[in-house]
Amino acid sequence: MEHKVIDHLFRHHSGKMVSVLTRIFGLQHLDIIEDAVQDTFLKASISWRKQQPDYPEAWLTKAAKNRVLDIFRTLKTKQKHIGQLSTGTDAIAINELFLDKEIEDAQLRMIFTACHPKLDARDRISFALKTVSGFSTKEIASALLTKHETIKKRLVRARKSIQKADLKFSIPQGNALNERLETVMEVLYLIFNEGFHSNKKEQLIREDLCGEAMRLCRLLLKHETMRQPKVYALFALMCFHSARLASKTDTNNEVLDLKHQDRTLWHFPLIQLGNTMMNKAVETETFSSYHYEAAIAAEHLKARTFEDTNWDKILHWYQSLYELQPMPSHVLTMAVICLQNEDYKSANAYFKKLNPDALEQRKYLYYAAKADYYKATKDFKSALEHISEAINCVNNDLEKQYLLKKQEAWLLEFS
């Protein structure tokens, strides 16, 4: 059996197994549970070489459960309790925890545990990616542009915090739910963003991350107390962005900017689903940042061609977003919108408000946009200087190739 199939199954099913087994055996045994799930996939990779089972997920779940019991017996941990897990009413109750609805409930418990306020904010997304989505420490380090050792430390720190605070594996209620939901949504937003515009050096789009964020967001919306306008808005945003994934690169895997994307490749069913979610999202008097970002994404999707884009409307939504969430990336985008409107005075005013270092890994976008500004205002020397700076700063290979191609065309044009 191909390794890709095993990897696919691990991505989609390990988080489910870790969550269910944690619900059975408790957060205090999370390390053992994760090792057991890892062992299960190693066993699968060997035994499935000749023939894949008819129901791979059921095979994996049963094997993981048995492996945990084996480990607990070896460690002579909770012998009395373990003895009751194999037969009788306890076994029936445990088997019921592997029903689809109960698996989803366990995953919700895990994502809310990962986003507990007693965990360091820096540790939450790493812990969520590991336990809920089955990412390896190497993959998390790549996604978050962080050293492998740093991620390992974050995961250890998160587990220690869970033990120290004796956190409950549960979904919070009342005000605590609303407060924690904000953090959960932020984590899902970060996971999706990394998929939509990856920081990974050799890969621009990571559909697995986008899909995982959407799957987890859907889980939230299945829970009645979490069907809130802001959650619908977040899911709408994910739908709108995902609808454009196929058009972001060409057949040669080269980056295409919005102007040159083939709009016939946009996935209409996802746009429709996004619109349905957005209709539910606006049933409120208070809009979140996700509302405004979804409105912006929808505005791009409405335009039949790049030239039809309503930049004034998009600028209005960005101004509203900036009032709610004053971030340097929003200022940069407003500058770019003004360039599209050929309002160079306003664009320059926005540029002057920015310190490129505040954009961190994305500061190459500042230099690329400023290069476009100088080209539009006929300052070709400054345009070439800034696009060179953008090339020096960019991490992703595909984006670097895009900028180099642009630089080459400008050199021909300016000579």
List, for residues 165-174, the tens digit of each pLDDT value.
Answer: 888 888 888 8
Alpha-helical (H) ranges within 200-288 are: 207-222, 229-242, 268-281
Query: Taking 50 as the threshold, does the pLDDT of residue 185 lie above it?
Result: yes
> Residue range 147-154: average pLDDT?
91
List, for residues 329-349, the tens digit of each pLDDT value.
Answer: 999 999 999 999 999 999 999
DSSP notation for 21-42: HHHHH-GGGHHHHHHHHHHHHH
List, for residues 58-113, the tens digit of each pLDDT value.
Answer: 787 777 777 777 777 766 555 555 445 554 445 546 666 667 778 788 889 999 99
Distance between CA atoms of residues 404 and 378, nearest Å: 20
Query: Taking 80 as the threshold, does the pLDDT of residue 255 lie above it?
Result: no
pLDDT recorded at residue 368:
96
* Contact status, residue 296 vs residue 325, Cβ threshold 8 Å: no
Residues belonging to the chain: 415
Q: What percent of the chain has pLDDT over 70?
A: 88
Distance between CA atoms of residues 271 and 195, nearest Å: 18
* Contact status, residue 367 vs residue 386, Cβ threshold 8 Å: yes
Distances (CA, A) of 16 to 33, 287, 343, 407: 12, 32, 51, 47
If you search the block for the tokens 């020096």, which residue do you land on?
392
Distance between CA atoms of residues 49 and 47, nearest Å: 6
Q: 20: pLDDT confidence band, cut at 50, 70 and 90? A: confident
Distance between CA atoms of residues 406 and 105, nearest Å: 49
> Residue range 191-202: average pLDDT?
72
pLDDT recorded at residue 87:
46
* Contact status, residue 391 vs residue 400, Cβ threshold 8 Å: yes
Q: 199: pLDDT confidence band, cut at 50, 70 and 90? A: low
> Residue range 4-22: average pLDDT?
76
Query: Taking 60 as the threshold, does the pLDDT of residue 413 lie above it?
Result: yes
Q: What is the mean pLDDT of the chain?
A: 86
List, for residues 344-392, the tens digit of each pLDDT value.
Answer: 999 999 999 999 988 887 899 999 999 999 999 999 999 999 999 999 9
Task: Tell me the one-letter amino acid at 368.
Answer: A
Distance between CA atoms of residues 228 and 406, nearest Å: 44
> Residue range 201-210: average pLDDT?
72
Question: Which range is least confidently modeled, 39-43, 120-124, 149-153?
Answer: 39-43
